Structure 1
Amino acid sequence: MKYLIRIIMFFISVSTFSQNVEVKDMFSLSPIPEVFVFDIKKEKIAVSDSMGVVNIENFEKNSTLQFKHIAYKPLKIQKNNLSQNQNIFLIPNSEKLNEIVLSVSRSSYDKNRLAKEVKVINNTQIKRLLPENTSSILNQIPGIRVQQSQGGGGSPVLRGFEANRILLVIDGVRINNAIFRSGHLHNSLSIDPLSLERTEVMFGPSSVGYGSDAIGGVIHFYSKEPLTNEIRKTDFSFSTSKNFGQNISKNAFLFEYSNKKLALLQSFSFSRFGDIIMGKKRHHGHENWGKVFYYSQNTDTKYYPLPTINSNPNVQKNTNYNQFDLLQKFVYKPSNNYKLLFNFQLSRSSNIARFDKLNQLNDGKLKYARWEYGPQKRVLVSPQLLFFSEKDWIKSGKIILSLQTFSESRIHRKFDELSRKTQKEEVQVYGLNGDFKGKIFNSDDLSYGVEVTHNTVESNAFSQDIEILENKIISLSAKTPITTRYPSDGSQYLTLAGYVDYRKKFNNATLNLGFRHTYNQLEALWHEKALIDASLNYVFQKNQSSNFSLGYNYEINKRWSLKSIFSTGFRAPNIDDLGKTRENNGILSIPNINLKSEYIYNIDFGINRKWTNGSSVNLTSYFSIVNDYIGRGLYSVENDITTENPSTILFSGDEVTTIANLNLGQVKLFGAEIVCVWNVSSKIDWQSNITFTKGEGNSLTGNLPSISPVFLSQKINVSVKRGDLFLKWDYSFSKKPQFFSPWGEDGLEETPLIGESIYAGTPRWSRFDINFEYPISNRVFFSAALNNIFDSHYREFASGISSHGRSLRFALKYDM
C-alpha cells in the first residue's frame, strides 16, 4: 500500500511542478514541433514535441528563455512571466510567411491550400526594391497593370477592372470610400511603400470577405508592426534613393523600440518627384506623339495670359510634386494572449497638376491655364485588439475600430478667363471590423466576422475672379457658389455586413465554403443653388446583397495540383456613382438616382506543375459575367431649356452632352495568365509571365473599358558573389482604336493622331531594365538600377502621360 501511495504522490508532484508551454504559429495557430528552447548561456536546452509542447521546468526561475526555429523569428521571454500551459506564439520569417496568405477571408491560411489566386510581395522584396511609391510595387506583380494620368498617378487594373471595382485595404481597414470613382483612381499612392511589411493581391471577386467593390479583386497592404520583448531594445534605419535621370528623390526614417510589454514604431518619409522626362527613341514611328511644345506657368500667385514655349519638349512640364508620409504604431501586450495596437497614418501631397487636362486643346490652343488637384490628405486612426483563446469556436480574434478622413480638391481656370473654379470634398469614414477564427470538428477552419462602415461626404464648390497686377495675382474676389461635384447639402453612406468562411481539410485537398450578407444605405441632399436638374433635391436608397464562394484545391501528387473556385461579388452604387457632376471634353456626367447594384459571377480554374529544384509552371484562367453592369450612357435632363437639343445643356458657358451612370445589362470578361519559374542553377533563375484579358460588352455598353492589351514580362536573376543582378524585359502588345471604350475611360484621344480626328490606338512597346543589389554589410544595403535602358518612348494603355525615359537610380539602406 505504501508503494502505491508513493507512486500517486510522485505523479502528483510531477503534474504540480513540471511546467509546460505550448508553441504555436502566430497566424495559423498550429503547433510547432522541434522548437529549440535554451537560456542565454546555452547551458540548458529543451525541444518542443509534435504537439508544440515543451517542458521548461529545468530552467532557472529568473532565466531568460530563447525560442528558436529555422522557419520562425526568434523570441526571447523571461521564464517567471510564463504560466503553466501558456501559449507561446512565434512569427514566421520571410520565407515561411511567403507560404501564408493573411488576406483571404480576412484570416491566415496556407497559400498552397487556397483555391483563390493570390500573389504576395514580401518585406524582403520591398527592401530590395526600395520603391518611391506603391506603383513600383504593384508593377512587380504579374497580372497587374498601372494606368497613369499625371505625375502623382497610379491606377491599378486587375482582370479588366479598375478604380472602384477594386478594393484597397490597409491593415484590415478598407480605403475605398463613398466617392471612389470609376475610370482611374490613384489613392493607392497615399501609402508609403517603405512602411509596408507585405502586400497581398487577391484576383477575382472577393466580396465574401470584403463586401462591395471587391469585384476585380483586393489589394491588401500590411504596414510594419513593432514587436514586444525583442532582443534589441531599439532599432533605427535610414534609406535614401536618387533617380538622376528623372530628378526623383526619397528619404525615409524608421525607429523601433521594444521592451517586455510595450513596443512602438515610427516611420517617416519625404518624396520629391521632378517633371517626368519621356524616352527619346520612338520605335512606334510617331515623331511628335506625347511631346510637350507649350505649357502653362500659371500658379496660385503667378499669372501668364499665354502658354510658354517648352525648351525641351521631351520634358513633361507640370508633372512634379512631393509627398509626406507618417506611420506610428504602439503595441501593448499585457499577456501572451492579448495585444492592443494603436495605428496612426498620415499622408499628404503637394498640389498635383492634372497633366492630361493641361495638354487639352481648344481650337488648336491649350485650354487650361490651371488644372490641378489640391493637396490630397489621408488620415487613419485605428485602435485594434488581438486576442487568443482556447475555445474551439474562437481560437483567435481581432477587433478593429477606425476613423479615416480624406481631403481632396480640384482647381481649374481656362486661359481666356479670369474666373478660377474650385471644388472641395471632405470625407469621414467610421469603421468597425470584427474578425474571428476557430476550429470545428477538431481540424476544420472556421472564420467569421462583422463589418460596419459609415461615410459622410461634404462637397463645396465656388468660383473666384483673380485680380492681377502685371503677372502677379494680388487678390481674389468673393466666392460665388457653383455646381458641386457631389450632393451640395451633404450625403451619407452606411454598410452593415456579416460573413462566415469554412475550410475542410482532407489529406491532399481543401474544400472552402463562404457566405456574406451586406446591407448598404445611401442618403444624399441637394440645395437649390447652381443645380443642373431643378427637380433633384433628395435621394434615399437601400441595397442588399448575398454573396458566396465555393472553392476546391486538390494536390494530385507532389508535382501536380488543381484548383477551382466559383465566387460571386457585387458593387453597390456609392455617392460618386449616383450623385456626381463632372465635365470632361464636352461631356457632362450628371446624377442618376435610379441606379442599382451590379453583380458578378465568376469561375476560376488553375493548374500548377512543380519540380524538385523549385521550378514551376502555373496556369490560371477565369470567366466572369456581370449583370446590371454600371456604365456611362446618354441621359437627358428633364425640363431643361438651355439648349434646343435634349441631349445637351449649357454648363459653365459651354454646350455639353449629358451622360449618367446607368445599368446597362449583361457583360462578360474572361482571360488567362501563365507564370513560369525556372531555377536554371543554384545561382540563376528565370521568371516569365503572360497575361491575356478579353471583354465582351453589349449594344448599350459598347467596348468595355480597362481591358489591357496582352502583356508579357521576363525576368532573370543572377546571384553573384555577394549580391544579385536582375535583368527584366516588359512587352505590351498594341490595342487598335476600334477596341477602345466609347466613353473616354481608355483615353483614345491620348494615342497618336494620324489624321483629322483619327487616332492610332495604343502602340506596342517594350522596355529593358537592369538592377544590381549588394549587401555591403549586415547593416548596409546598396542597389543600383538602369531603367528603360534603350530610352524607349511609350505610354501604358489608357494613360494620359508618357512613361519615364532612361534613368539611373541609386538607393542605400542603413540599419543601426
Structure 2
Amino acid sequence: MKFLVSMQKIIFIVLFLIFQGLSAQKIVVLDAEDGQPIPNVVLYNVDKSITVLSGLSGECDLSVFGDHERITFRHLSYQTTKANKNHVLNRGKIYLFPSMEQLEEVVMSISKWEQQRKDIPQKMAVIGAKAIQFTAPQTSADLLQQSGKVFVQKSQLGGGSPMIRGFATNRLLISVDGVRMNNAIFRGGNLQNVISIDPLTVKNTEIIFGPGSVIYGSDAIGGVMNFYTQRPQFSNTDSLSFSGSSYYRYASANNEGTYHLDVNVGKKKWAFLTSVSYSDFGDLTMGSHGPDSYLRNQYVIRENGEDKLVQNSNAKKQRSSGYDQINLMQKIAFKPNNNWNINLNTFYSETSDYARYDRLIRPSKDNTGLRSAEWYYGPQKWFMGNLQLVQNGKGSFYDGLKITTAYQNFQESRNDRGFQKDIRFSTKENVDAYSVNVDFENKRMGSLRLYYGTEYVFNKVGSTGSEEDITTGATMASASRYPDGASWQTLAGYISGELKTKPNFTFLSGLRYSHVWVDATFDKTFYPFPFDNATLSTGALTGSLGISWFPKTDLQITSNASTGFRAPNVDDIGKIFDSEPGKVVVPNPDLEPEYAYNFEVGAQKNFNDRVMLKATTFYTYLVDALVRRDFYFNGENQIEYNGEMSTVQAIQNAAKSYVYGFEIGLDAFLTEKLSLVSNLTITKGIEEETDGSDSPGRHVAPTFGDFHVIWKNQKLKTDLFLNFNDKIAHEDMAVSERSKGYIYASDADGNSYTPSWYTLNFRSQYMFSQALTATFNLENITDQRYRSYSSGIVAPGINVVLALGYKF
C-alpha cells in the first residue's frame, strides 16, 4: 500500500514537472510598434520539418523544437525574423516589425471585398489605426493631409477639402464603411463634409488615386477616400468581455481640447461598440515668419447696435476661427452562425456655428475696411444609420453576399451680413439620402474571381431662404439656395473580374452602367426664371482594365486604364449663390455629364528588403467639364443679388481639361530601428475653353512632399520630418484664383501668388505599457507663417501637441 502511494506521488511529481516544462516553452509573438499580439505567424526550423502556427493571442508552443534549434518566424505583413529557441524562451516573447511594403496586405476599396494589395493595378494609400494614433490629427481632413500623399485646402478652421490628382470637391468620392457620403448638393466649391468623420473611430483609410466609377459610380473622377471605422469585438469565450479606451489631446496653436471614450461589450454572438468624442477648438494662431499680408490686423465687433472695426491686439490670432464639435457612434453586431453577420451602425456629428474665415477677411470695395460683419456656417450636422447583412459560402451563384441599406441626413446653413448692414441673409439646407447596395463575390471559377452588384441612391433636397433685420428681429422669406423639394437619384449595375493567369501576373477589369435622374421645380417668387423646372435623365458606361506584374520577386509593374464620370447634381443645375464679390451663380437646366479618361503606370522596386522605391505617372483627360462661367439670365449679364448688382454666371459644360503628374515614394530601413520615409507629388493641369483659350486648372495643387527620419524601439517611436510646398507663380494660377488677392501674397509686380513654404516637425510616442500611451509632438518648429494654396485660414504656427491614450 505504501509502495502504491509512493508511486502515485512520483507519477504526480513527474507529470507536474512535465506540465511545467511544457508551459515554460510557450511564448507570445508581438507587434514591435504597438505591442499587440500577432495571430497566424508561421514558425519553422531550418529544414521545415517542424511547423507551428501562433494562436489568436499570439501564443505558440516551442516544445516541439530542439533546445538549440534556430526558428524562423514568418508572417505576410511582417519582416521575417530568425532566433534561437533558448534565446526566445528566456524572454518569453518575440517582436516582429511590420514589413517595409505590405504587398500582401488585404484591402477592400477596389471591389468592396477583400483583395491582396499586390494584385491592385491602381495606386492606393492605406492609413492604418497605428499611423492615425501616432500622427494625432485634429480632424479627418488632417488625417488625409498628414499621410503626405493628399493635398488639403482649408477655407476655415472647421474644414478641409482634399485635392487628388488635380481634382477636388464633388469630383472626389467619400465613403464611410462602404456607404457613399456624396449627396445631391456636394458642390464644385470647397467642401468640409469630411470633418464629420471622427478620426478617433477610424480603423483604416484606403485612398484610391484616379477614377473609381466602376465600383462607386458618379463623382469618383479624381479618387475615392474610404473610411472604415472600428468594429464591435465578439467574446472568444462563453463569458461576457468588456474593453474600451479613453483619449485626451491638447494642441497649443488653437488651445484645442479633445476628449474621447469608447466601450466594447461582447458575447459570442452579440457585440456592442459605443464611442463619444468632443473637441473644442479655439481661435488659431499663425506663425511669426512670413508675409505680413496674412496677419489679422482688424476684425469686426458689434457694440451698442453698431458694427465697429477694431484693431487686433494679437494680429497672429485669427479671430472668430474657433468652433466645437461632437461625434457619436453606436454599432451593434450579431453573428447567428459562421455564415451570417448582421451589423447595425449609427453615426452622428454636429458642429457649432463656425465662421467662413476667408469671407471675414475680404476687404471692402474701397479697401478701407472689411466687407462682411458676419459670415458663418450654421451647425453642420450629419446622421447615418446603416444595416449590413453579410453571408459567406452559401449562395448558389456566389461565395459572398453583402446587402447594405443606409439612411443619411445632412443639415447645413449659410449666414452672412455686410458691414454696418442690418439685414442678415440666411439659407438652410436639408438632404435626406437613401441607398441600397447589393454586392456579390464569386470565387468558384478557378483563377477567376468575379465581383458584381447593383446600387440605388435617392436624395431629396430641402432648401429655404430668409432675411432678418437684426435691429428689429423681423424676418421674411427670401430666395432659397436650391429648388426646394428637388431630387437626385441613380440606379446602377456593375461587374468586375480579377484573373490571375500566373502567380506573378494579375488582370483586373470591370464595367458599370449608371443612370441618373434629376428633377427640380423653381420658385418664381423672387426671381423670374425663364423656365419652370429642370429634369435630367442620362446614363454613363464606365470601365477599367489593369494589370499587376512581378517580372521579378523584388519588382512590381502596374498599369491601369479607366474612365470616370460625374452627372450633374442639384447643386449644378439649380443653385443660386454669390460665388465671390460682385458675381452671382444662377440655375442652368441644360447640363450633361462630364467624362474622364485616365491612364497610369506604376513601379515598385525592393532593394534587398532595405529600400523600397515607388513611382507612378498618370494622365487624365476630362471632357464636357462642368465649370462656372459667365452667363445670361433673361438676356441680362447682370442682376441684383442681396442688394448688389452682380455679374451673372452659371455652371456649364464649357471646358475640357487634362491633368498629368508624377508620384514618388521612398521607404528605407537603415537599421532595425532607424528608417527613412519620403513622398513627392508633382501635378500639372490645364483647362481649355470652348473658344480655344486655356488657363491653369483651379484644383491643381502645387508640388508638395515630405521627408521623415523615424527611430523606434519596443516602447518609443520618434519622427523628425520636413513638409514642403513649392510656389505657384501668378501666371500659373487659375484665373478664378488670381482675383482673390486677399488670401494670397503679392509678388514684386503686385500680383497675387502662392509662396513656397516648409515646416520642420517632431513627433514622438511612448508606450508605458500595452494599456497606456503618451504622445508629444512639436509642429512647425521654426514658426513659419504660411497659407496653403487656395486656403483662407493661415496654417498654425509653432504648435505643441500632447495626447494620452489608455486602453482597458
TM-score normalised by the chain length of structure 1: 0.85
> What secondary structure sits across from 1:629 in the alignment?
strand
Change (3 A) 1:508 1:37: closer
How far off its partner does 1:441 sit?
A: 2.4
**Which residue does 1:634 correspond to in 2?**
630
Instruction: Decide which of 785, 788, 807 is 1:793's aligned counterpart.
Output: 785
Instruction: Decide which of 119, 123, 127 is 1:121's aligned counterpart.
Output: 127
| Cα distance in 2 for residues equivalent to 1:621 and 1:230 | 46
The amino acid of 2:628's aligned partner reads R
> What secondary structure sits across from 1:289 in the alignment?
helix
Q: Is the 8 A contact 2:738 2:752 kept in 1?
A: no
Q: Which consecutive unaligned segments of at least 5 residues does structure 1 have?
A: 1-29, 48-67, 74-92, 468-474, 640-645
How far off its partner does 1:31 sit?
A: 14
The amino acid of 1:242's aligned partner reads Y
Q: Is the 8 A contact 1:713 1:729 kept in 2?
A: yes
| Cα distance in 2 for residues equivalent to 1:129 and 1:265 | 24
Q: Is the 8 A contact 1:366 1:415 kept in 2?
A: yes
How far off its partner does 1:731 sit?
A: 1.2
| Cα distance in 2 for residues equivalent to 1:376 and 1:631 | 26
Are 1:148 and 2:154 an aligned pair? yes
Are 1:179 and 2:190 an aligned pair? no
Cα offsets for 1:349-397 (capped at 9, x unmatched): 0001011111111122111111000000000011110110145741112
How far off its partner does 1:46 sit?
A: 14
How far off its partner does 1:648 sit?
A: 1.3
Instruction: Decide which of 486, 501, 504 is 2:499's aligned counterpart.
Output: 504
**Which residue does 1:55 correspond to in 2?**
none
**Which residue does 1:253 correspond to in 2?**
261
Q: Is the 8 A contact 1:600 1:626 kept in 2?
A: yes
How far off its partner does 1:614 sit?
A: 4.1
**Which residue does 1:686 correspond to in 2?**
676
Are 1:811 and 2:797 an aligned pair? no
| Cα distance in 2 for residues equivalent to 1:97 and 1:725 | 25
The amino acid of 2:287's aligned partner reads G
Change (3 A) 1:508 1:403: same
Change (3 A) 1:772 1:304: farther
Q: Is the 8 A contact 1:36 1:69 kept in 2?
A: no
**Which residue does 1:106 correspond to in 2?**
112
**Which residue does 1:19 correspond to in 2?**
none
Instruction: Decide which of 639, 643, 652 is 1:653's aligned counterpart.
Output: 643
**Which residue does 2:319 correspond to in 1?**
317
| Cα distance in 1 for residues equivalent to 2:138 and 2:98 | 22
**Which residue does 1:13 correspond to in 2?**
none
Q: Is the 8 A contact 2:603 2:616 kept in 1?
A: yes
| Cα distance in 1 for residues equivalent to 2:469 and 2:616 | 56
| Cα distance in 1 for residues equivalent to 2:739 and 2:326 | 30
**Which residue does 1:348 correspond to in 2?**
350
How far off its partner does 1:749 sit?
A: 4.1
| Cα distance in 1 for residues equivalent to 2:302 and 2:606 | 58
| Cα distance in 2 for residues equivalent to 1:660 and 1:170 | 31
Cα offsets for 1:447-478 (capped at 9, x unmatched): 111111000001100101112xxxxxxx611x
| Cα distance in 2 for residues equivalent to 1:158 and 1:550 | 21
Change (3 A) 1:392 1:693: farther
The amino acid of 2:678's aligned partner reads S
| Cα distance in 1 for residues equivalent to 2:731 and 2:337 | 63
Alignment of 1:416-427 (within 5 A): 416-427=420-431
> What secondary structure sits across from 1:305 in the alignment?
strand
**Which residue does 2:470 correspond to in 1?**
466
Are 1:221 and 2:227 an aligned pair? yes
Are 1:606 and 2:608 an aligned pair? no
Are 1:241 and 2:249 an aligned pair? yes
Are 1:388 and 2:392 an aligned pair? yes
How far off its partner does 1:294 sit?
A: 1.1
**Which residue does 2:375 correspond to in 1?**
371
Alignment of 1:275-290 (within 5 A): 275-282=283-290, 286=291, 288-290=292-294
Change (3 A) 1:458 1:745: farther
Alignment of 1:133-172 (within 5 A): 133-172=139-178
**Which residue does 1:718 correspond to in 2?**
711
Alignment of 1:49-60 (within 5 A): none
Aligned residues: 725
| Cα distance in 1 for residues equivalent to 2:129 and 2:737 | 38
Are 1:771 and 2:763 an aligned pair? yes
How far off its partner does 1:205 sit?
A: 0.5
| Cα distance in 1 for residues equivalent to 2:729 and 2:135 | 34
| Cα distance in 2 for residues equivalent to 1:361 and 1:44 | 72
| Cα distance in 2 for residues equivalent to 1:367 and 1:345 | 38
Change (3 A) 1:381 1:32: farther
| Cα distance in 1 for residues equivalent to 2:598 and 2:308 | 53
Q: Is the 8 A contact 1:105 1:208 kept in 2?
A: no
Q: Is the 8 A contact 2:77 2:104 kept in 1?
A: no
- CA RMSD between the two structures: 2.7
| Cα distance in 2 for residues equivalent to 1:127 and 1:810 | 12
| Cα distance in 2 for residues equivalent to 1:504 and 1:31 | 28
**Which residue does 1:332 correspond to in 2?**
334
How far off its partner does 1:303 sit?
A: 4.7
The amino acid of 2:289's aligned partner reads K
Q: Is the 8 A contact 1:321 1:352 kept in 2?
A: yes
Change (3 A) 1:297 1:39: closer
Q: Is the 8 A contact 2:361 2:742 kept in 1?
A: no
**Which residue does 2:449 correspond to in 1?**
445
**Which residue does 1:476 correspond to in 2?**
473
| Cα distance in 2 for residues equivalent to 1:566 and 1:37 | 41
> What secondary structure sits across from 1:743 in the alignment?
helix
The amino acid of 2:652's aligned partner reads L
| Cα distance in 2 for residues equivalent to 1:375 and 1:524 | 26
| Cα distance in 2 for residues equivalent to 1:650 and 1:495 | 36
TM-score normalised by the chain length of structure 2: 0.86
**Which residue does 1:5 correspond to in 2?**
none
The amino acid of 1:308's aligned partner reads V
How far off its partner does 1:740 sit?
A: 1.7
Q: Is the 8 A contact 2:306 2:420 kept in 1?
A: no
Are 1:703 and 2:696 an aligned pair? yes
| Cα distance in 1 for residues equivalent to 2:801 and 2:420 | 41
| Cα distance in 1 for residues equivalent to 2:748 and 2:763 | 41
Are 1:663 and 2:653 an aligned pair? yes
Change (3 A) 1:43 1:424: closer
Change (3 A) 1:685 1:189: same
How far off its partner does 1:690 sit?
A: 1.0
**Which residue does 1:206 correspond to in 2?**
212
| Cα distance in 2 for residues equivalent to 1:747 and 1:32 | 59
Q: Is the 8 A contact 2:405 2:435 kept in 1?
A: yes
The amino acid of 2:504's aligned partner reads N
How far off its partner does 1:38 sit?
A: 8.2
The amino acid of 1:578's aligned partner reads I
Change (3 A) 1:766 1:755: closer
Q: Which consecutive unaligned segments of at least 5 residues does structure 2 have?
A: 1-39, 44-50, 65-72, 79-96
How far off its partner does 1:421 sit?
A: 1.0
Structure 1 residues 561-570 or 434-443, which shifts more? 434-443
